[in-house]
Amino acid sequence: MKPERTDPDRATGRRIAILAGAGRLPLEIAREVRCTGSVPRIVAIQGIADADYSGYDVTPVALGQIGRMLDALRRDGTQDMVIAGHVRRPDLMRLRIDLGFILNLPTILGLMRGGDDNVMRRIAAFFERHGLKVRGAGEVAPGLLAREGVMTGDPRPEDLAAARLGQRTIAILAPYDMGQAVVIEDGRIAGIEGVEGTDALLRRLPPAEGRRVLVKTAKPGQDLRLDLPTVGPDTLRAAMAAGVHLTAIEAGRTLVVESAETCAVAEMNGMAIAALPAMPSATASATSLCERVSAIDLAPIGALRADLGSRHDACVGMALLNDLASLTEGRAVLVARQHVLAVNVGEPMSAFLARTSGLGQWGDNRRRKRNLTLIIGAATEAVINQLPTLTDGPIAGVAFARPIAKPEARDHLIEQAKRANLFLLERR
């Protein structure tokens, strides 16, 4: 039984709108909001929101119906809203739009640049400019926040040490606005979450050879109103299938949905769950990311030239590889418009390229122009021979974090890149 909670909203019956994407989190928030005495109103994104909202006030809206969405969120004078659930970046060409979308088009196009945290901050600011107060899920549904301590199981000391390594890794990655999860195996980084999400990270791992720890935390400096890390039964099932022994989250900065079932799944499979205290914010360098990126000098290889945006993306990827070097050897990074999509810390390059071939910022990149930059640590023979496979994908060019010294390797590289119509860059 959950402890009785008091809330100042109980006396007012305040209405709280929940902009609902995919997953059960919006439903869990609605239940908690109702427990506080406030009135939840669900604004469900059509084709995305998939929970059963029977018994709640629900207004369905299409993702492109901005005017209808704002009207639904502000109905009856509602001023507070929560953004919850997963929403993939849309394919703008396929949206059903209304006049509100057209009137706000310049703003909407500007919203979607960069990583997830930057996007969410801009989206929150957009709604607040339209008279809505964006609240965090932890504010309106504090009962969902993990409390410090072991939730189930008996984690080993070495697994807890691995969890701290995972926290440090996420802190280093924070300036790049990447994912919220890493997997540590026997004291090394086995996988880093990219744009595809935590479950996909767990599915792509090879069979475990040692003890694995899943670490899922908020990024240092992240706006805690938006996109808090969330775990639930599905996360634990995916972790179990990946051979995870401990799932580590941060107390007060992680939402736990269906907590009873989540713990039951872990207990049935001998997995521990621990909510750790948040680590102090740390920076990967004494200099800012902007300074580190600006300090990188690139030289073109071959005839095809990269545009300024692609050159900047290459510098971002190289800065990330540099920052990771204190913890692990990063093999490759995929970047689009300053948004880090994926990091390779141990996969064969062929596997990395195969799993990232469909990634991008916008919808179905198979129909889009090539606008992704692949940054690779070293130009090995195996890597060079992979370049022709990129002909039909979204990758526009490749940048190498180390100069290519051997003339024969350079010539072979230029030949292969020409076959695939790729620009080439190297760090001086």
Domain endpoint, select from 140, 169, 204: 140
**In the prediction, which pLDDT does 47 show?**
86
Give the mean pLDDT of 81-87.
Answer: 88
Lowest mean pLDDT among 17-21, 98-102, 189-193: 98-102
- The answer to whether residue 197 is domain-embedded is yes
**Are residues 151 and 134 part of one domain?**
no
**In the prediction, which pLDDT does 197 show?**
86
For residue 289, pLDDT over 60 is answered with: yes
**Are residues 152 and 131 part of one domain?**
no
- pLDDT tens digits, 327-356: 998 899 999 888 899 999 988 888 998 888
**Are residues 128 and 55 part of one domain?**
yes
Distance between CA atoms of residues 329 and 162, nearest Å: 17
**In the prediction, which pLDDT does 394 show?**
87
**In the prediction, which pLDDT does 25 show?**
93
Would you place residue 148 in the very low, low, confident or very high pLDDT band (cuts 50, 70, 90)? Answer: very high
- The answer to whether residue 282 is domain-embedded is no
Alpha carbon distances (Å) from 116 to 54, 87, 372: 30, 11, 17
- The answer to whether residue 281 is domain-embedded is no
For residue 365, pLDDT over 50 is answered with: no
For residue 3, pLDDT over 80 is answered with: no
**In the prediction, which pLDDT does 323 show?**
92
Placement of tokens 């029977």 in the chain: 54
**Are residues 309 and 261 part of one domain?**
no
- The answer to whether residue 247 is domain-embedded is yes
**Are residues 74 and 179 part of one domain?**
no
- pLDDT tens digits, 218-262: 887 777 787 789 999 999 999 999 999 999 999 999 999 999 999
**In the prediction, which pLDDT does 370 show?**
81
Would you place residue 392 in the very low, low, confident or very high pLDDT band (cuts 50, 70, 90)? Answer: confident
- The answer to whether residue 416 is domain-embedded is yes
Count of domains observed in the chain: 3
**In the prediction, which pLDDT does 1 show?**
31
Q: What is the CATH number of the domain that holds 405?
A: 3.40.140.80
227 or 379, which is more confident?
379
- The answer to whether residue 340 is domain-embedded is yes
Distance between CA atoms of residues 151 and 132, nearest Å: 36
**Are residues 311 and 259 part of one domain?**
no
For residue 106, pLDDT over 80 is answered with: no
154 or 371, which is more confident?
154
- The answer to whether residue 149 is domain-embedded is yes
For residue 108, pLDDT over 80 is answered with: no
- The answer to whether residue 284 is domain-embedded is no
Give the mean pLDDT of 386-408.
Answer: 89
Domain endpoint, select from 254, 276, 298: 276
Lowest mean pLDDT among 117-126, 232-241, 385-394: 117-126
**Are residues 18 and 133 part of one domain?**
yes
Alpha carbon distances (Å) from 1 to 4, 116, 143, 146, 259: 9, 35, 12, 16, 12
**Are residues 382 and 342 part of one domain?**
yes
pLDDT, the chain, mean: 86
Distance between CA atoms of residues 340 and 283, nearest Å: 18
Strand partners, 44: 20, 60
Distance between CA atoms of residues 386 and 382, nearest Å: 7
Strand partners, 19: 43, 83
| HEC assignment per residue over 310-366 | HHHHHHHHHHHHHHHCCCCCCCEEEEECCEEEEEECCCCHHHHHHHHCCCCCCCCHH
HSE-CB at 216 with a 13 A cutoff on CA atoms is: 26
**In the prediction, which pLDDT does 65 show?**
81
pTM of the model: 0.85
CB proximity list for 107: less than 8 A, separation 6 or greater:
126
**Which structural domain, as residue segments, surrounds residue 129?**
8-140
Would you place residue 110 in the very low, low, confident or very high pLDDT band (cuts 50, 70, 90)? Answer: low
**In the prediction, which pLDDT does 321 show?**
95
**Are residues 126 and 50 part of one domain?**
yes
| Phi/psi at 246 (5° precision) | -140, 130
**Are residues 253 and 166 part of one domain?**
yes
Domain endpoint, select from 209, 241, 276: 276
Would you place residue 13 in the very low, low, confident or very high pLDDT band (cuts 50, 70, 90)? Answer: confident
Buried-state track 347-365, b at ≥16 Cβ within 10 A, e below 16: bebeebbebbbebbbbbeb
**Are residues 171 and 63 part of one domain?**
no
Give the mean pLDDT of 107-134.
Answer: 73
Q: What is the CATH number of the domain that holds 48?
A: 3.40.50.20
**Are residues 293 and 423 part of one domain?**
yes
